Amino acid sequence: MSKSSDVSSSTSSPSRLLPERLSFLLDDRPTLWFEDAQAYDALLSELVAEYDPNGMIEFMLVKDIADAEWECGRLRRMRRAAIEVGFPQATYHLMFAFYQEQTGLNHRDAQNSLQILTRQSVRGDRESSELLSEVAEVAGVTHQMMHFEAYKIGLKTITAIEEALSRAERRRDQVMRMIDDRRRNNAAMMRSLVKPDAADDVAESIEGVEGRPS
């Protein structure tokens, strides 16, 4: 980190790191109503502390990086959710006939029961997960088979999400390069304005004039 060690960016509010004149940047968080705004603030704080932006343009670029990275995280969660959404249909394709035969339920009740069991399992209910695993094992269905079937069902959606994720990652990386290029250009400009040997060049010129015969 380029800022002093007393700044704990993981717990700091961005408002403590942003100049007051730039507080408007926090008025436009990219978070949706169900997302954690504090998690976004922590991300922005980390980036502000890491890049130590100088001036409005750099602060805005760092904000763009935070926004793009937040979108990347959202798209990764969407990709995972797209697979989970396909699990009820995947288990139906692979296990319904066996499940109905084993339970003796009619078609509709067996379908509803299997879907509820699968959804509770996806949500992390331990008892449902264990029961579903037992049914799958007896039916000869592996977890890999269920994952493959769920992925195949959601493939079109997953592909679209991955394309959007790739665009968001490229946008984030482009802004990172913009900051690096801006700083390299500013450093090169400063070096050209203040050359270390400029004073020596002037002294040599004076000596050359004074040494000439009058």
* pLDDT tens digits for range 37-50: 999 999 999 999 99
- pLDDT confidence of residue 159: 96
Domain holding 120, by residue range, is 87-153
Domain shared by 6 and 57, yes or no:
yes
Among 11-25, 64-78, 178-192, top mean pLDDT goes to 64-78
Q: Do residues 58 and 51 touch, judged by C-beta distance below 8 A?
A: yes
**Percent of residues, the chain, with pLDDT higher than 90:** 64
Residue 209 inside a domain? The answer is no
- Same structural domain, 68 and 95: no
Co-location of 68 and 110 in the same domain = no
For residue 64, the model assigns a pLDDT of 96
Is the domain of 71 the same as that of 120? no
122, 153, 184: which is the final residue of a domain? 153
Last residue of a domain, one of 13, 42, 77: 77
Please give the model's pTM, rounded to 2 decimal places: 0.73
Is residue 13 in a domain?
yes
pLDDT for 161 equals: 97
- Within a domain: residue 162? no
What is the reported pLDDT for 11? 46
Residue 97 lies in a domain: yes
pLDDT tens figures, 81-109: 998 889 889 999 999 999 999 999 999 99
The answer to whether residue 153 scores a pLDDT higher than 70 is yes
pLDDT score of 1: 39
Note whether 93 and 53 are same-domain residues: no
Return the half-sphere exposure (C-beta side, CA atoms, 13 A cut-off) of residue 155. 6
Mark which of 110, 126, 153 sits at the end of a domain.
153
pLDDT recorded at residue 50: 93
113 has a pLDDT exceeding 90? yes
Query: Domain check: are 60 and 94 in the same one?
Result: no
Domains held by the chain: number: 2
Whether residue 63 is found in the same domain as residue 104:
no
Same-domain check for residues 64 and 124: no
Geometric angle at alpha carbon 169, from 163 and 171, rounded to 5° = 105
